[in-house]
Structure 1
Amino acid sequence: MPAPRISFEFFPPQTLDASFRLWETVRMLAPLGPEFVSVTYGAGGTTRKLTHEAVEAIGANYGLNVAAHLTCVDASRAETLAVAHSYAEAGVTEIVALRGDPPRGEGRFAPRPDGFASSVELVEALAATGRFRIRVGAYPEAHPDAPDMAANVAWLKRKIEAGASSAITQFFFEAESFFRFRDACERAGIDAPIIPGILPIISWSGARRFAERCGARVPEWLERAFATAARDGREDLLATALATELCDDLLRGGVEDLHFYTLNRPHLTRDICFALGIAPEVSLQNVA
């Protein structure tokens, strides 16, 4: 079985310590030869400037194909497209177009009157520029704002029809969740690549909170496994084994691409990639 194509998600630093973590993460994972890396926005677009700076620095210093996140939150259409065009001028040709999370303290997303009302509108506008390859998000389990899985599939189809070329899923804990979603998308006529998102579990309590917020189902067996591992001090060993097994199940089911949510903590992601047979391509020890 050939090694998969891989990609990584980073987030922009807001403190000096976080900056060191980001660059250590990039330095450690870049030699694995990712197809692309993405850089997130904070909730409510709070890291817009930091995201732009991180995207440019990663591309310039490491030669990686960087996809910048862009959201509909707290900006006019003109402001959002100005950010997009500034990416293009900096040589960034890939965008992950998302609706985005509401600003902290606000329960639900509410578009500005002069802003994009949805990710579909954002994708349409970006596609009309002709300057970008557009990736979008997908939910293999129920989105918190969606009534059911059928709505998730229908919304993804609208985004693909609007001009997106591929989708990256929210994380999940069991391969069957992805396969059910992939099959439903195929039945709906979606033929664009759907890349599964993998979350190496650096902290079980943190992963549990993420899952509750985004609607990812937490299996009971996983709760029990981490409770046992915590007593034995073997959480990292368990996390590596579970993520590697999940990736292996996906690859055996026909998946060719994996997208890792690194949380700017590279060690588990690196170990999982090694276990999957992904070897470093070059050494970047001397890259500034």
Structure 2
Amino acid sequence: MPAPRISFEFFPPKTLEASFRLWETVRMLAPLRPDFVSVTYGAGGTTRQLTHEAVTTIGREFTLNVAAHLTCVDATRAETLAIAESYAAAGVTELVALRGDPPKGQGGFAARPEGFASSLELIAALKDTGKFKIRVGAYPERHPEARDEAADIDWLKQKFEAGADSAITQFFFEAETFLRFRDRAEKAGIDAARIIPGIIPIEGWAGIRRFAQATGATIPGWLDEAFVKAGRDGHEQLLATAVCTELCDTLLGEGVPALHFYTLNKAHLTRDVCFALGVKPQVALQNVA
């Protein structure tokens, strides 16, 4: 089986220590030559400038194709498109267009006056510029605000119709979750090859479990039990590598061509899983005098 296409997600650092960790993570993963890497955007636009700095620095220093997250939150249409234009001016050709999460304490999303009311409006406006490849989010399990799974599929189809080029899914823990979602998407007329499954390497089960609960991802009982036991035995890292590798291998065996890793700015587990899947570092040849 050929090695899969891969991509990575990072988040912008807020402290000097976090900056060093991000830099080290990118340094370790860049030799795997991902299709692209993405940099997230904090809830309520709280990391807008940090995201821009991280995107441009990673692209410049590591010659990686960087996709910047862009949301509809807390900005007018003109302000949001000006941010997009600043990315284009910096040589960024890919954006991850999202509605975005509201600031903490605000409750549900509320569009700002003269702002984009939904991701569909943002996608269409970015498409009209003709300057970007547009990636969007997708949900293999029901989004907390969706009435049912069918509504999620319909919304994803509308995103593609608005101009999206590909979609990256929320993370999940069992291959069947994605494969059933893929079947529903194909039945609705969506080209499933344009949907990239999001994979989260389990660097620490307690933290990932809380993250899953917050996002509505199903936590399989067997996985919870396995990590509790592995934690007692001191084998959590071995289990994490095995679980993530098996999940990815199953997806690849079902014809999935690409994987997107939510790294949480930690490199080792993601790198080990990529190695196990046959993704090897590509070292540029040095000129020898």
Q: Give the TM-score range, shorter chain.
A: over 0.9
1:55/1:68 contact within 8 Å kept = yes
> Where in structure 2 are there 5+ consecutive unaligned residues?
none
Q: Alpha-carbon deviation of 1:121?
A: 0.7
1:108-131 per-position Cα deviation (integer Å, ceiling 9, x unaligned): 111112111111110011001111
Separation (CA, whole Å) in 2 of partners of 1:234 and 1:103: 38
Partner of 2:269: 268
TM-score by length of 1: 0.97
1:157-236 aligned at under 5 Å gives the runs 157-191=157-191, 193-236=194-237
1:130-177 per-position Cα deviation (integer Å, ceiling 9, x unaligned): 110000000000111111110110000000000000000000000000
Aligned residue type for 1:253: E
Partner SS state of residue 6, structure 1: strand
Separation (CA, whole Å) in 1 of partners of 2:19 and 2:169: 26
Between 21-30 and 201-210, the greater mean CA deviation after superposition: 201-210
Runs of 4+ in 1 over 6 A off after TM superposition: none
Aligned residue type for 1:106: Q
Q: Alpha-carbon deviation of 1:74?
A: 0.8
TM-score by length of 2: 0.97
Between 2-11 and 99-108, the greater mean CA deviation after superposition: 99-108
Partner of 2:249: 248
Separation (CA, whole Å) in 1 of partners of 2:151 and 2:209: 24
Aligned residue type for 2:196: I
| 1:37 maps onto 2:31 in alignment | no
1:144/1:213 contact within 8 Å kept = no
Separation (CA, whole Å) in 2 of partners of 1:75 and 1:210: 27
1:54-203 aligned at under 5 Å gives the runs 54-191=54-191, 193-203=194-204
Partner of 1:237: 238
1:13/1:19 contact within 8 Å kept = yes
1:170-214 per-position Cα deviation (integer Å, ceiling 9, x unaligned): 000000000011110111011161000000011112111211122
Partner SS state of residue 92, structure 1: coil
Separation (CA, whole Å) in 2 of partners of 1:186 and 1:261: 25
1:138/1:156 contact within 8 Å kept = yes
Sequence identity of aligned pairs in percent?
A: 73
Partner of 2:27: 27
Partner SS state of residue 95, structure 1: strand
Separation (CA, whole Å) in 1 of partners of 2:219 and 2:18: 29
Separation (CA, whole Å) in 2 of partners of 1:20 and 1:264: 10
Partner of 1:5: 5
Aligned residue type for 2:254: G
Between 112-121 and 22-31, the greater mean CA deviation after superposition: 112-121
Q: Alpha-carbon deviation of 1:224?
A: 0.3
Partner SS state of residue 108, structure 1: coil
Q: Alpha-carbon deviation of 1:283?
A: 6.4
Partner of 1:282: 283
Aligned residue type for 1:247: C
Aligned residue type for 1:110: A
1:35-86 per-position Cα deviation (integer Å, ceiling 9, x unaligned): 0000000111100000000100011111000000000111111111000000
Partner SS state of residue 88, structure 1: helix
Q: Compared with structure 1, are the counterparts of its residues 283 and 233 closer, same or farther at alpha carbon in structure 2 (3 Å cutoff)?
A: farther
Q: Alpha-carbon deviation of 1:106?
A: 2.1
Partner SS state of residue 131, structure 2: coil
Between 55-64 and 103-112, the greater mean CA deviation after superposition: 103-112
Separation (CA, whole Å) in 2 of partners of 1:222 and 1:113: 45
